[in-house]
Structure 1
Amino acid sequence: MRKSVLKTLLFTIVILLLVLAGGSFYMLDYALGAQRLPYSTYYSQLYEQEPGIEEWVDSLKRTGTLRDTFVVLSDGERSHALYARNSAAKGKTAILVHGYKDAAVKMLPYAKLYHDVGMNFVLPDLHGHGLSDGDDIQMGWKDRIAIEEWMRIATKAFTHPGDTTRLYLHGISMGAATVMNVAGDNPAHLVAAVEDSGYTSAWDEFEKELRGRFSLPAFPLLYVTSWLCEAKYGWNFREASPLEQMAKARCPMLFIHGDADDFVPTEMVYPLYEAKQGEKELWVTKGSEHVRSLHDHPSAYRKKVMDFLRKHE
């Protein structure tokens, strides 16, 4: 009798462990597996979402101002970016970072804000996105290293004799998390940064999704998946923490978040803002869902960002 019970218990434990392992591998692929589209599709999506931007983009293409490039980063990976020079820049360059499972193209409406006030801009495709190498998504953590490398590339490419290098960062969603992670490293020439709809940590975001989409608690699935991520990709969900990076950041920061955001919940912006010491501003937009603040409040968004930049030229 006892042997039968022990066998049943052992069998049950093995089954549960197999289910947990299978679920963890599924979650890792579900959350971090790259999902690319043809690059032309990103343009089509952009023009459908923001039809007013197409004429400006076409004018940049027609004059050869909007270009793309590939560079080989220090880890040997090819990274792709769109960029545009501005003759009035005098060393001022904005690097704008796209969101989760998206591409650099989607940052063109934001890039226009900076180009209109005389800046160069660079729009990288993050690892595992767009035309850049990689089969996995890094949730803005290891991405910060690539963006810091793009900052050094931009410094060399866009700074001419007599110029003063001044770099600005602007990101949305996972790109906002990337920007905050970069800001916490305090790279050279970073003057100011704007984060729009970023999360406190990869752990917090995945925990929210796990509960909201699957009605599951964090333990044990998220713990095991984070461990698998570290084993496979070299980082874990807790260390990917813009919240911790904000405590170290010295550059002025503008925090933007929609008050109707339920993908990256609005309440995440408040601890991020509190963690940042020194110069900072917070703007919570009325009625805006995830990364919709520019679309919903174009004039106010432009004014808020431009006023912030003028304070930190």
Structure 2
Amino acid sequence: MRRKLLILLGSTLVTFLGIGVYFSNRIMYMRKKKDDFIRNREISAKRLVEDDYDALPKAEHWVNSPSGYKLKCLFVEPNKSNKWIIICHGVTENKINSIKYMNLFLKRGFNAVIYDHRRHGESGGRTSSYGYYEKLDLKAVVDELKRLKGTDILLGIHGESMGAATLLLYAGSIEDGADFYIADCPFSDFEQQIIHQLKRELPLPPKMILPIGDAFLKWRDGYRAREVSPIRHIKNIKNPVLFIHSEPDEFIPAEMTKELFREKEGPKQIYLPSIGAHAQSYNENAGEYENVIDRFLTELVYPKAHKKAKAQ
């Protein structure tokens, strides 16, 4: 009887450890796309024209993360303007994926900062945290930009997927430090996003896996999934937000963006294209995407910027 009990306890412990390690590894070390793959994909799709990109005036900056590593940033400044945009890429990507969005804003007279999130591209950092630590890194990039270019710049932040969640967490829980935000396919709550994925991928019920995995995530990386929740902070964002999400997105449901839009108070707009998988709204609807951004800038961003300039 005692031997059977020990075997049962041992198998339970092994199962507990297996679930915890598997769950936390999947989150902390989600497999990244190779840098060459991202570059070749963007070149093949004509979203990156190497000669044009190489000709842009740009400067490399290494920004110190408060978490103890360096962030590789490129400050791209072809325009004599005080308008700046920071682009935040999604998990598994790098700053090359941000070039298509950068080009969109360069055409509109902005200068841009593209950078690699922690654990991606050329930046340091050991794990991905889906906005928990990335929001602090974003603040470091914002602070460096304002230190170099002044606090009177017109600043926007554009983010895709994890990058969108990161900018919402930055603006809602740290500081509303930009003049506008564009959140493309963010999740509203990381715990709910994990549950959504577990239901799609594993036969076991999420209620069985999540508490174990979450405890391991806290132990190994210092936070719980429920602490990464843009919806909890969205009402703190007073500056304009443009929400974008393709309706067919199966990875992060568009309903999450609709929820964020409903909860956001003050100036806001939303664009829900009927075509496009996850993080494909621009790739599949480029002309419409640009028109939506023009309307957002014209109706919500520039009028407020003019009032701010007059007041100064």
- With normalisation by structure 1, the TM-score equals 0.90
Whether 1:201 aligns to 2:189 is yes
Structure 2 residues without counterparts, runs of 5 or longer:
303-312
2:122 is aligned with 1:131: yes
CA RMSD of aligned residues (A): 1.9
Which residue of the partner structure matches residue 297 of structure 2? 309
- Give, in angstroms, the shift of residue 188 of structure 1: 5.7
Q: Trace 1:1-313 onto structure 2 (pairs within 5 A).
A: 4=1, 7-33=3-29, 35-36=31-32, 39-48=35-44, 50-51=45-46, 53-55=47-49, 57-63=50-56, 65-90=57-82, 92-159=83-150, 164-185=152-173, 187=175, 189-310=177-298, 311-313=300-302
Residue 16 (structure 1) shift: 2.0
Q: Distance in 1 between matches of 2:205 and 2:122?
A: 35
- Secondary structure in 1 matching 2:68: coil
1:239-285, Cα deviation, whole Å (9 max, x unpaired): 10011121221111111110110000122112111121111111110
Identical-pair percentage: 21
The alpha-carbon distance between structure 1 residues 11 and 38, as it changes in their structure 2 partners (threshold 3 A), is: closer
Measure how far apart 1:60 and its partner are.
3.2
CA distance in 1, matches of 2:301, 2:207: 44
Displacement, 1:73? 2.6
Taking the aligned partners of 1:153 and 1:123, their CA distance within structure 2 comes to 13
2:227 aligns to what SS in structure 1?
coil
Q: Match of 2:80, SS? A: coil
1:158, distance to aligned residue in structure 2 (A):
2.5
Q: C-alpha displacement at 1:186, in angstroms?
A: 5.8
- The separation in 1 between residues aligned to 2:214 and 2:169, in whole angstroms, is 19
Could you tell me whether the CA contact under 8 Å between 1:197 and 1:257 is conserved in 2? yes
Q: Which runs of 4+ in 1 moved over 6 A?
A: none
Instruction: Give the deviation of 1:10 after TM superposition.
Output: 4.8
The worse-fitting range, judged by mean Cα deviation, of 14-23 and 169-178 is 14-23
Specify whether residues 172 and 235 from structure 1 end up closer, same or farther in structure 2 by C-alpha distance, changes over 3 A only: same
Contact 1:186–1:249 at 8 Å: present in 2 too? no
Q: Give the residue type in structure 1 aligned to 2:220.
A: K
CA distance in 2, matches of 1:274, 1:73: 33
Structure 1: unaligned runs, 5 residues or longer: none
Secondary structure at the residue paired with 1:222?
helix
* Matched position secondary structure for 2:142: helix
Paired with 1:178 and 1:81, the residues of 2 have a C-alpha distance of 16
Per-residue deviation, 1:98: 0.5
Deviations 1:276-299 (A, max 9, x none): 111111111012211111111111
Q: Tell me which amino acid in the other structure corresponds to 2:296.
A: F
Contact 1:255 1:269 in 2 (8 A): yes
Paired positions, count: 301
d(CA) in 1 for partners of 2:62, 2:32: 17
